[in-house]
């Protein structure tokens, strides 16, 4: 029975839980291995019993600790020993991490908080299985005023038109923007289509006094800035 299987173990894992708790509080997250930290997160759904085998099963299924937290709740719930309650517990952790990362860039000059922005994008997009295109609209002080989901799928004129990107800048009162999308393959190197659409949007922006600061492509564990590569 999902979410309740571990209850049959009774209090056998109580001492283990207490040891993990002490290690976490004294040494921080780095004192726990990935599967141990995942065990600890599962304690919220399983009030007693051993969650070690389930934690290892999840990492085996989704490839890594981050893969587990970025997994779809429905997929999590299908893993043996899981269920809606435990899937919801892990999904809540994932959402919390994203909101914390977003809080690091909200209401702050984005260009002065560049690493925080990259961290936020990596958490939010680095493990997506499909391509997502976003436009970050900035005010005159380069503060984020609109994080717009422009398209799901390939970045081309059929999905994201330069005129519409610039028009929205006027609608939200933005003076600058940053294009962002991810490569599900994990390799963030820009394609010809990436470069072409970026140049089109940058040119449209120049004509209407909307600055395109950058186009950031997010991969798994890495990113590429088209500005840094001299492509804008």
Using DSSP, how many helices (H) and how many strands (E) does the chain show?
Answer: 9, 5
Which pLDDT value is given to residue 29? 65
Neighbouring residues of 107: CB distance < 8 A, sequence distance ≥ 6: 143, 144
The per-residue pLDDT of the chain, averaged, comes to 83
For the domain made up of 105-225, the CATH class stated in words is alpha beta
Kindly list the domain boundaries of the chain, sorted by start residue: 5-100, 105-225
* pLDDT of 24 strictly over 50: yes
Using pLDDT thresholds of 50, 70 and 90, give the confidence band for residue 199. very high
Which pLDDT value is given to residue 28? 67
Which pLDDT value is given to residue 172? 95
pTM beyond 0.75, yes or no: no
End-to-end CA distance of the chain: 56
Using pLDDT thresholds of 50, 70 and 90, give the confidence band for residue 46. confident
Which pLDDT value is given to residue 189? 92
* Mean pLDDT, rounded, for 31-59: 85
Cβ neighbours of 201 (radius 10 Å): 24
* pLDDT of 72 strictly over 80: yes
* pLDDT of 98 strictly over 80: no
* pLDDT of 226 strictly over 90: yes
Among 8-22, 147-161, 205-219, the minimum mean pLDDT is found in 8-22
Higher pLDDT, 7 or 213: 213
Which pLDDT value is given to residue 219? 87
Max mean pLDDT among 59-63, 135-139, 228-232 falls in 135-139
What is the torsion angle, in degrees rounded to the nearest 10, for the CA atoms of residue 74, residue 77, residue 83 and residue 89?
-80
Whether residue 81 contacts residue 57, with contact meaning beta carbons closer than 8 Å, is answered with yes
* Mean pLDDT, rounded, for 103-117: 75
Higher pLDDT, 204 or 100: 204
Which pLDDT value is given to residue 176? 95
Structure token pair of residue 9: 């173990």
Using pLDDT thresholds of 50, 70 and 90, give the confidence band for residue 20. confident
- The H or E element spanning position 232 is none
Radius of gyration of the chain (CA): 21
* Mean pLDDT, rounded, for 14-33: 78
Tens digit of each residue's pLDDT (9 = 90 or more) over 149-177: 888 776 655 467 898 999 999 999 999 99
């Amino acid at each position: 029975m999902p979410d309740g299987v571990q209850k049959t173990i009774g209090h056998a894992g109580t001492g283990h839980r207490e040891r993990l708790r002490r290690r976490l509080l004294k040494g921080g997250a780095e004192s726990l291995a990935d599967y141990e930290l995942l065990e600890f997160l599962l304690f919220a759904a399983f009030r007693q019993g051993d969650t070690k085998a389930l934690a290892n099963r999840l990492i085996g299924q989704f490839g890594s600790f981050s893969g587990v937290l970025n997994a779809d709740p429905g997929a999590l719930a299908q893993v043996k020993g899981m269920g809606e309650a435990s899937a919801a517990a892990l999904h809540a952790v994932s959402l919390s991490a994203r909101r914390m990362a977003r809080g690091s860039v909200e209401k702050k000059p984005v260009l002065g908080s560049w690493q925080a922005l990259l961290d936020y994008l990596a958490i939010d997009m680095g493990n997506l299985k499909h391509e997502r295109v976003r436009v970050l609209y900035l005010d005159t002080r380069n503060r984020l005023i609109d994080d717009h989901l422009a398209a799901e799928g390939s970045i081309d004129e059929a999905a994201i038109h330069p005129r519409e990107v610039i028009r929205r800048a006027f609608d939200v009162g933005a003076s600058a923007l940053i294009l962002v999308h991810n490569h599900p393959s994990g390799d963030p190197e820009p394609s010809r289509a990436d470069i072409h659409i970026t140049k089109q949007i940058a040119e449209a922006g120049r004509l209407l006094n909307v600055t395109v600061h950058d186009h950031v492509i997010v991969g798994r564990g890495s990113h590429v800035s088209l500005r840094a590569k001299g492509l804008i």
